[in-house]
Amino acid sequence: MNFVVAIDGTSGSGKTTTAKLVAEHFGWFYLDTGATYRALTYQVLKEGKDPEGEREVGEVLKDFHLKVENREDGQRTYVNGEDVTDHLRTNEIDRAVTPISKMKVVRERLVDLQRRISENKNVIAEGRDIGTVVFPDAALKIYMDAGLNERVQRRRKQKGDGNSIDEVMKDLKRRDYHDSNRDLSPLKRASDAIFLDTTSLTIQKQVDWVINQIEKLNESESAV
């Protein structure tokens, strides 16, 4: 069986934590597709390449081997055998991943890798183009969003208090704009995705809501 749940949404909407916990609940594979782009970005910077240079990024891709594992301590991401998981959420990666993720050669390669990683598994996948591009035939599609002020507070808490509210808001607005306006695989709600406004929801309520959607779908399919 290959049951895919596609969760898309904006930064700070809660999709990452929700996807992880839902995957844990069912014992399914969790796939953070954003981490695959961050992993490539890490390698580009490690090799001293220009993250805005498509030719240089393409050179890194030629020798880019990605592996994703779900373990008891969470998802681990490996690049060319190196565990890079703990290096993927820095401000430097945040800035450089935007131009890299817009490149056609990058999206084609990583979407292919994401599909291969998910083969023959029940998957909770989250990102920005899961329901529209990566898994357009997903059994269940969910699109999450929250008010900007709420997302800023969540993001600041995640990043630590060293980042001012103005800095975090500026970064979120920048990412929202680039994610929604890029030519390839822009962030948008799939026509058949269920919308969930998480502004006033706790993570546990988000998790319970998604679990309920999956169970209802499974029940309806079993009844056919």
Q: What are the tokens at 79?
A: 């690049």
Average pLDDT over residues 20-40: 95
Residue 219 lies in a domain: no
How many residues would you count in the chain?
224
What's residue 184's pLDDT?
Answer: 85
| 85-132 confidence digits (pLDDT tens) | 999 989 899 899 999 999 999 999 999 999 999 999 999 999 999 999
pLDDT tens-digit readout, 154-185: 988 877 756 788 988 998 998 899 889 988 88
In angstroms, the Cα distances linking 83 to 65, 69, 104 are 12, 10, 26
Q: Are 47 and 114 in the same domain?
A: yes
Domain residue limits at 73: 35-120
Residue 219 pLDDT grade (very low, low, confident, very high; cuts 50, 70, 90) = confident
Q: What is the CATH number of the domain that holds 186?
A: 3.40.50.300
Residues 153 and 191 in one domain: yes
44 in Cβ contact with 100 (< 8 Å):
yes
Position 75 confidence tier, pLDDT thresholds 50, 70, 90: confident
Count of structural domains within the chain: 2
- Final residue before a domain boundary, out of 95, 120, 145: 120
> Do 104 and 67 belong together in one domain?
yes
What pTM was computed for the model?
A: 0.90
